[in-house]
Chains A and B, each alone.
Chain A
Amino acid sequence: MEFFELAIGSIFINNIILAQFLGICPFIGTSKKMETAVGMSMAVVFVMVMAGMITWSVDTFLLKALNVEYLRTLSFILVIASLVQFVEMFLKKMIPGLYAGLGIFLPLITTNCAVMGACLLNIGNEYHFTKALVSSFSYAIGFGLALILFAGVRERVNLGRVPKPLQDTSIGLVTAGIIALTFTSFRGMV
């Protein structure tokens, strides 16, 4: 039950994009087409879960054990950057089909603040390992949900006649605001 509440809370109420403002760049950048949105969401689920597990272990067994918590930022970004590189090489060799699907989105994830943000939130909330795993996974699902919903809306919006100064990113942000407004109604659910 505890995990269920955490999952619902992380997907809907504290949605990583629409409530916590993490990962806005890929949210705006990859939502013009549905395929890219789906590719990015899959890549994020994959990397965020792995990064969540590894950074939790690094923090607990290395940084806290050695009393060097001030190195957290530096070590987390190193872990994430090398993880992304490793995942890329691994997929290229072992699962070429998935690699072709995720393609260019993998390297972009290094500078996706949602991944690093989710890891930092896990540590900040002092979750134990299983909780960190569940929350990383649910944050990633929340990311995918928001991104895919937004891509669907944006494809339709771009068909309409948008006033010139509002075009592209600007109308995208206004649309995102309206989606965020609908997400605020999930508050009080858990």
Chain B
Amino acid sequence: MAQSLVKEFKKGLWAEIPPFRLVLGLCPVLAVTKSVENGIGMGMATTFVLVFSNLLVSLLRNMIPPKVRIACYIIIIATFVTIVELVMQAFTYPLFLKLGIFIPLIVVNCIVLGRSEAFASKNPPVMAVADGLGIGIGFTLSLSAISIVREFIGAGTITIWGGNPVFAMPEWFTPLSFMVEAPGAFLALGLMLAGMNLIGSK
């Protein structure tokens, strides 16, 4: 039991790490990774929704009629997204403003719905929580990795929390602002995906 729990948790961190191995939910990945702070915030919000929607879907898995299951999952997910929205509005308002519509859009994030459908609906609650936590943390890690690359090259800084950079390049460094704009997002993700494929194929 304990062993398979660890297994379900660990697969989200490497073997099925979204969005590199599980190519889903690319919208927030591209949109919010302008700074590390946004990346981590988005990752944590998604993790919260993943864990609790997985838990509830798994608890209700024998009660939800199969024909309307997707609608039920979406309502469960939307409930937790609303909770996240309200909590972030109350406690981390600047971050909430920066992430903008991507917080309510967690509802239509394919990773969350995908885990409910593919995993939580077939497994007991403890496993579903481990799976949600693993995938969520994996997602947070990849978001941080992408945003470190983008923010470092694009702005020459790294901001982890609260809007003040913890690290800034000296004056002589000219940031390549292309990286924090739209085309740079696609390029960064595409090349990092290629890098992951290269490591994975060995």
Enumerate chain A interface residues (CB-CB to B < 8 A): 18-25, 28, 70-74, 76-78, 81, 110-113, 116-117, 120-121, 124, 163-167, 169-174, 176-178, 180-181, 183-184
Contacts and interface: CB of A to CB of B under 8 A. Distances in A.
Interface residues of B, number: 43
Given A70-B82, A71-B82, A113-B109, A28 B30 contact: no
A111 B182 contact: no
Q: Is the interface of A mostly helix, strand, loop or mixed?
A: helix
Interface in B143-167: none
B94 interface: no
Interface of B: 23-28, 30-31, 70-71, 74-75, 78-79, 81-82, 85-86, 100-101, 104-105, 107-110, 113, 181-187, 189-191, 193-195, 197-198, 201
A74 B78 contact: yes
A77 B23 contact: no
B183 A169 contact: no
Nearest to A73: B104
A125 to B, nearest CB: 11
A116 B113 contact: no
Given A73-B82, A177-B183, A20 B31 contact: yes
Nearest to B195: A165
A52 B107 CA distance: 17
Given A113-B105, A121-B101, A174-B187, A23 B75 contact: no
Contact of B186 (A25, A78, A177): A177
B201 A113 contact: no
A28 B189 CA distance: 13
